[in-house]
Structure 1
Amino acid sequence: MSTALAEVLRDWMPHQRWFGGKGREWADVSEEGFFLSRAEPVLSVHRVRVTYTDGAVETYLVPLSWRAHPEEDLNAAFIGAVPAKDAEGADRENYAYDAMRDRDATTPWLTQLAAAATVGPMHFHPAGSQTDPAPIPEGVPGDIVSTEQSNTSLVYGQDAIFKLFRRLEPGLNPDVEIGEALRRTENPHIAPLLGYVEIDDPDPSAEPATVAMLQTFVRGASDGWRLATASVRDLYAEGDLHADEVGGDFAADSERLGAATASVHADLARVLPTAPADREWFTATARGMTERLEAALGVVPQLEEHLAALRKVYAAVADSPEEVLRHRVHGDLHLGQVLRTATGWVVLDFEGEPARPLAERRQLDSPLRDVAGMLRSFDYAARHMLVEQPDDAQRAYRAQEWAVRNRGAFCSGYSAASGMDPCGDSPLLRAFEADKAVYECVYEARNRPNWLMIPLQSLSRLTAGES
């Protein structure tokens, strides 16, 4: 049954970046919550169940802070006023705020985590052991990271970052599962896991859902996408120089990134299950790609001209003679998921593509999926400024030059670290790249139509067999 709070959330949630149901019609909404802290401000946590008119159901986690009076400093976090009764039974209103944007309401998360507490249906699991506990900063407020979309993160001082998974699904989130496994390897290319939080499902037969995780904060790091695109701008600004002659050449970083990716893959294969890819897996992979292509045609009619060639690329996967060792992978690797520090690259966010069901994201896969994701990201970095000048042949030539150089450097770094050339004549890699480009076409058609040219041009290259 819908409550006054549920109706307030119905108005507020569609405007949040992390809400995945934008544009869909709601049939019903309900919520259930509990108190995580009764200190001032009161902090409650709510599971909000949204039912759409097509019958689909999604559950989101919404922490709220409560105030007896409006707080002008929190106007940007205001959710709504909810009718209530005071101690004498008189009517009044309580004021609900987004607790992730209310600094005074952010300290209880780490207090409960350090105590390994259970609060209502929520369980806090610090990493480490009693003799060697993870360093969890208590008593420090968290500052929100404004750039995220599907999740919400808080940075606590210079020591830790707390990521709240907004959409709840039964089962351990891959970011936690992989983070816990890689913590034991002491791999220098990951941010160590400090702890995580789960919540029991209302259905006692279902697994708990992962609510949040805490990781070491990577200090003084630079975002891979920003570094790469700055290099591209430097190249565009030097009209008479080649990519390897520009001061902002990114190839050395790309090579080190390839080596870092190979190192993470090696440890994933060492500490988590592996299995050789059999003919059934190749066939199922090709079938899934073809099905996604067919679905994408309804959104992006321009894919029609690539249809026959893409089917041929995918069919080559079903017949591929490649030997592939499947293991856990990142699942959504791109330049925005890596940070460069003074000592090297750090890979973040192992939860995979949030749009895919959690069970799929936890399956064993080929490491070439991650390689393909990064190769597509180099292509995007090289060509994103062509959106402004799509007919500039000189810029297009230089973009291709930058992309080829950095894609090659990444593959060289990966090969040197792993002993395996990931970018040889692999039907599977080409298919993974094409599948990712089809996904990008759908995304751009729905969100940034003027960017659609980037993945469409890439499909022309991939289906022609070019590098």
Structure 2
Amino acid sequence: MSEAVTRPATASTGLLASLDPLLRAWLPRQRWFAGKGRPVTGLSLVAATELLPPDGPLGLYHLIVRVHQSGLPGERPHPGDSYQFLIGAREALPPRLAPALIGHVPTGPLAGRTVYDALYDPRPADVLLEALRTRARVGVLRFEGDPGQEIRSGLVPRLVTSEQSNSSVVYGDTFILKVLRRVVPGVNPDLELPLALSGEGCARVPAPTAWIRAELDDEAYVLGVLQPFVQGAADGWELALSRLAKGEDFTAEAHALGRATAEVHTALARALPTVTLGRAQLEPLVASMREHLDAAAQAVPALRPYVPGLRSAFDALTVRSAAGHTWTAQRIHGDLHLGQCLRSASGRWSLIDFEGEPAKPLAERRMPQPTVRDVAGMLRSFDYAAHSASPPAPDWTRTCRDAYCAGYAEASGSDPRGESVLLRAYETDKAVYEVVYEARHRPDWLPVPLSAVRRLASPDPS
């Protein structure tokens, strides 16, 4: 590792002040920025770590910044989120780095320099990999990993440009480093669960090789996770769309994916505690689902005619729990859909991205939940894929649903369709969320979740 990487961290009081107007203009344009639509009212520095000196040809800072925003009309005040940035500084950007431009700094310690998102640049990406390889400690940053896994130097990095909520860098088709953009203190399930699965010998999830943390006072942040790269893998969403476009069957893949999901759930149940959900535990769950529905109906008028039918899905769950039925809850993926699944060239499925729904609080993402919540997410993903075809292919959805649940049952001994009341409630809650999301961000897609809403609100939603 270079001397610059191991030097002590420095934090200039003028650094953030000089970057503030540039970041305020740049942040809302980033796909991973979760605060779109809310004005940025201020930035505050959580931590600044110098990785390469600013007086050299390439300066490099790691920043954790709190972004303060005002709430949307009718919302509670937004508490603000913390984001991590890898900020590069050069005299001028070469054309290949034009997409990474943040701006030109007129004052402060980087005056006269051009700053940019350094994850686009191979040299800063090399700095991160070298720090992980040598288990470096730089300021508040801790580069740690599995001592049984070796990281070779000299792997050529490239930024993955298709992600939304985070950023990833692939190193020579050997490793992939997922860099979390919005960060929170605490145990992050995107590291916690793959480590637990690795301990159980579950090969459906790439075992973490190394990771980046920040230690700030009494709080620790997980900032990034390095895992083996699944070479030649096809993204489940893209694979499904390709098969649909060609009019090809997807049931064998859906069946195998159901088995893979069940194997992950079984391993998580062995590795981490499970709990029993009875009436007392179900009541707040159902109450939150009803609240989501009421808020969504206020926000999206097209949903209102279906509210009574949708509410019946939650009422049925209340009746079942009142009759004494209980359910087992455990750690799950938390945000499972086709885009979170990779199919290798040999046909083997892997599951990735275990951080759960990023918008939800960390404590909620780490709570044990029924496994059918993951199943419901995948079933909704099949529906989205089928409605992306022209014309839509509802029969494709039904065959994939059945194949996925059958594969799950073969591997787990429990068919998710046997928990039809709970499954319908989770599917309904997911579809209601999708209606609001599409109405706000992609109005052209609104008919997709609305078609599911019509089905789920009917007396026979099968």
Distance 2:192 2:215 in 1: 17
* 8 A Cα contact 1:193 1:215, kept in partner: yes
Equivalent in 94, 110, 122 of residue 129 of structure 2: 110
Q: CA RMSD in A?
A: 1.9
Residue 72 of structure 1 and its aligned partner are, at CA, apart by: 3.2
Is 2:447 the counterpart of 1:430? Answer: no
Q: Secondary structure of the equivalent of 1:153?
A: strand
Gaps of 5+ in 2: 1-12, 72-76
Q: Which residue of 2 aligns with 1:466?
A: 461
Give the aligned partner of residue 27 of structure 2. 13
Answer whether contact 2:257 2:404 (CA < 8 A) is retained: yes
The one-letter code of the counterpart of 1:351 is E
Q: Which of residues 141, 157, 168 in structure 1 aligns to 2:183? A: 168
Structure 1 segments of 4+ aligned residues over 6 angstroms from their partners = none
Q: Which amino acid aligns with 1:134?
A: Q
Structure 2 contact 57–91 (Cα < 8 Å) conserved: no
Distance 1:139 1:40 in 2: 21
Trace 1:153-192 onto structure 2 (pairs within 5 A).
153-192=168-207
Equivalent pairs: percent with the same residue?
41
Q: Tell me whether 1:224 sits opposite 2:241 in the alignment.
A: no
**Aligned AA for 2:95?**
E
Deviations 1:269-319, CA, capped at 9 Å, x for gaps = 001111111222211111110111111122211111111111111122223
Hey, what's the Cα distance between the residues in 1 that align with 2:224 and 2:408? 31
1:208 partner SS: strand
8 Å CA contact retained: 1:84, 1:94: no
Aligned match of 1:138 in 143, 148, 153?
A: 153
Corresponding residue to 1:331 among 322, 331, 334: 334
**Aligned residue identity for 1:80:** G
The whole-number CA distance in structure 1 between the counterparts of 2:443 and 2:108 is 50
Selected match of 2:434 from 404, 419, 440: 440
Counterpart pick for 1:65 among 69, 83, 88: 88
Which whole-Å CA distance do the structure 2 matches of 1:408 and 1:53 have between them? 45
For 2:452 and 2:93, the matched residues in 1 are separated by 52
| Distance (whole Å) between structure 2 residues aligned to residue 433 and residue 317 of structure 1 | 13
Shift of 1:77: 1.4
Q: Which residue is equivalent to 1:239? A: none
Letter of the 1:42 partner, please give it. G
* 1:4 equivalent in alignment to 2:18: yes
Q: 1:70 to 1:461 in 2, by over 3 A?
A: closer
Where does residue 48 of structure 1 map in the other structure? 65
CA contact (8 A) 2:257 2:349 kept: yes
Q: Deviations over 1:345-364 (max 9, x none)?
A: 01111111111111110111
Amino acid aligned to 1:95: T
CA 1:84–1:139: 2 relative to 1, 3 Å: farther
Cα gap change, 1:461/1:83 in structure 2, threshold over 3 Å: closer, same or farther?
Answer: same
The answer to which of 191-200 and 321-330 deviates more is 321-330
Find the aligned partners of 2:121 and 2:252 in 1 and give their Cα distance. 42
Q: Secondary structure at the residue paired with 2:143?
A: strand
TM-score (norm 1): 0.89
User: Is the 2:49–2:139 contact (alpha carbons within 8 Å) kept by the matching residues of 1?
Assistant: yes
Contact 1:42 1:105 in 2 (8 A): no
For 1:48, the aligned partner's letter is V
CA distance in 1, matches of 2:295, 2:23: 32
- Aligned residue for 2:112, secondary structure, equals strand
> Pairwise mapping of residues 29-428 of structure 1 onto structure 2 (< 5 A)?
29-31=43-45, 32-38=47-53, 41-54=58-71, 55=77, 56-83=79-106, 93-127=112-146, 129=147, 133-201=148-216, 204-205=217-218, 207-235=219-247, 248-321=248-321, 322-341=325-344, 342-386=346-390, 395-396=391-392, 399-428=393-422
CA offsets per residue over residues 134-171 of structure 1, 9 Å max, x none?
23232324211111011010000011000111111111
Cα offset, 1:85, TM superposition: 7.8
Q: Which moved more, 1:7-16 or 1:65-74?
A: 65-74
The residue type paired with residue 11 of structure 1 is: A
Partner SS, residue 370 of structure 2: coil
Separation in 1 of the partners of 2:331 and 2:168?
Answer: 24
Letter in 2 for 1:30: S
SS of the residue corresponding to residue 432 of structure 2 reads: helix
Paired residue type of 2:131: Q
C-alpha separation between the residues in 1 aligned to 2:450 and 2:159? 36
Aligned length: 434
Question: Could you say what secondary structure the match of 2:87 adopts?
Answer: strand
Q: Which whole-Å deviations, capped at 9, do the CAs of 1:302-351 have from their partners, x for residues lacking one?
A: 11111111111112222325442211100111111101111410111111
Identify if the C-alpha distance between structure 1 residues 92 and 178 changes in structure 2 by more than 3 Å, giving closer, same or farther.
closer
Q: Contact between 1:137 and 1:159, CA under 8 Å: does it hold in 2?
A: no
Deviation at 1:92, TM superposition (A): 5.4
In structure 2, give the amino acid aligned to 1:123.
R
Greater mean alpha carbon deviation, residues 69-78 or residues 404-413: 69-78
- Match for residue 23 of structure 1? 37
Aligned partners of 1:147 and 1:85: how far apart in 2?
A: 34
> Partner residue of 2:5?
none
CA 1:85–1:413: 2 relative to 1, 3 Å: closer
AA paired with 2:44? S
Q: Secondary structure at the match of 1:108?
A: helix
